[in-house]
Amino acid sequence: MGSENGAMENLASSRFVGACVLGGLVLGAAVLAMQLGRAPPMGIRRRKKQPVRVYMDGCFDMMHYGHCNALRQARALGDQLVVGVVSDDEITANKGPPVTPLRERMIMVGAVKWVDEVIPDAPYAITEEFMKKLFTEYNIDYIIHGDDPCLLPDGTDAYALAKRAGRYKQIKRTEGVSSTDIVGRMLLCVRERSSSDSHNHSSLQRQFSHGHNQKVDDGGSGGGTRISHFLPTSRRIVQFSNGKGPGPDARIVYIDGAFDLFHAGHVEILRIARGLGDFLLVGIHTDQTISATRGAHRPIMNLHERSLSVLACRYVDEVIIGAPWEVSKDMITTFNISLVVHGTFAENMDFLKEKSNPYAVPMAMGIYRQIESPLDIRTTTIIKRIVSNHEAYQKRNEQKEASERRYYEGKTHVSGD
């Protein structure tokens, strides 16, 4: 009996030792795994992976959906996008006078939903000193530019230093639009309006969109105005869209308009409108509606061009492409609109005096509000800037058109977004 008890005690002791050894092996493996980085030990913080920061610069004058798409592509190459906005003086020295001053261009760039940080007064060309500042102070990993050449007045590459440093990445140029093209459309608009009334007064933009006047004579100055080559695709709209609808209890704010030549005044009124609710729905009027209400030579940009510019704004949640002129009860119900707003500084304020007030229904429902426009800028403000400095912009466009003509003549397919 005693020997049996001793044997059982020895067996239990052996099992206990075995369990301890096995437990020690498991614990040791766990500790080793933690040390290898699978899971840090309690009380010890593992250094987080640093975000990849990319930099893109530009003039962003007459900012349009092509600029926004470039910023979207640049952001996709990193975790954070820092954007340098070239100073007014640098633009004047290298390209001619800017249409929009630095303050307005800063507002525009800062409102693009893919931009994380903005640097004002960036140099037109990447210098050794500025590149070092980007790498050390701003922790930039890569400098980004489009596949179209960016040459200085002396013919050298503006990004040569970044390329030599091995810190340069390239994105695909967005086809179908450029600031030169848009300025050209406005210059053409001015020439058409000042010519005989016997001319066809159909919307110039519609002529661009449908391929008329494909190479318009500019009265002997030697330049031409390129038509709109923008080809809207469902994929591009999806790329710009937030892809999310409002929550069940969201307060939906609605604002509509032409949003032609999308500018800083538009951005600021959208910012205020978004602050009045949880979800901002923006109605973009059709080309025909704008021509009927604002003149035969408007809009400058077509419906899809205008829609993409608005969609790229961080304050906008969704757009109605081709919104009706009148805000109806059915529309308010369909989109569950809580508040309809309109700015105090807009192209067309005559609706308040007319019988066919497009906001009559929301006014009667008590859900209409007029909000103070922060900036005294309209689309006509931009056009007047072009008109007042017509000769300078004509000369700038002639130089740029020659450069763009060479680009299109030598153009080959480049894969990308």
Q: How many CB atoms lie within 10 A of CB 405?
A: 12
Average pLDDT on 289-312 reads 90
- Provide the 3-class DSSP secondary structure of residue 85: strand
pTM of the model: 0.76
On average, the pLDDT of the chain sits at 79
Under 8 Å between Cβ of 182 and 300 = yes
Residue 84: pLDDT above 50? yes
Q: Work out the pLDDT band at 87, boundaries 50, 70, 90.
A: very high
Residue 239: pLDDT above 60? yes
Q: Pick the most confident of 34-48, 106-120, 193-207.
A: 106-120
Q: Which residue, 177, 290, 259, is CA-closest to 226?
A: 177
The domains of the chain, with CATH numbers, are: 53-171 (3.40.50.620), 179-400 (3.40.50.620)
CA-based R_g, the chain, Å: 29
Average pLDDT on 155-168 reads 88
Looking at the DSSP assignment, which residues form a beta bridge with residue 146? 171
| C-alpha count within 13 angstroms, C-beta hemisphere, residue 369 | 14
Least confident of 7-21, 183-197, 395-409: 7-21
Per the model's pLDDT, the better-predicted residue between 184 and 315 turns out to be 315
Give the pLDDT of residue 10: 52
CA angle centred on 313, ends 307 and 314, rounded to 5°:
140
Least confident of 107-121, 135-149, 324-338: 135-149
Residue 95: pLDDT above 60? yes
Q: What is the pLDDT of residues 164-202, one digit of tens each?
A: 999 999 998 876 677 777 877 777 766 555 554 444 444
Per the model's pLDDT, the better-predicted residue between 15 and 205 turns out to be 15
Average pLDDT on 355-361 reads 88
Question: Using CA atoms, how far apart are residues 77 and 167, in angstroms rounded to an integer?
Answer: 12
Residue 27: pLDDT above 60? no
Under 8 Å between Cβ of 81 and 109 = no
Contacts 24+ apart (CB under 8 A), 302-307: 302/205, 302/206, 302/208, 302/209, 302/228, 302/230, 304/230, 304/232, 305/64, 305/65, 305/177, 305/228, 305/230, 306/258, 306/259, 306/260, 306/262, 307/237
Q: How far apart are the first and last CA of the chain?
A: 85
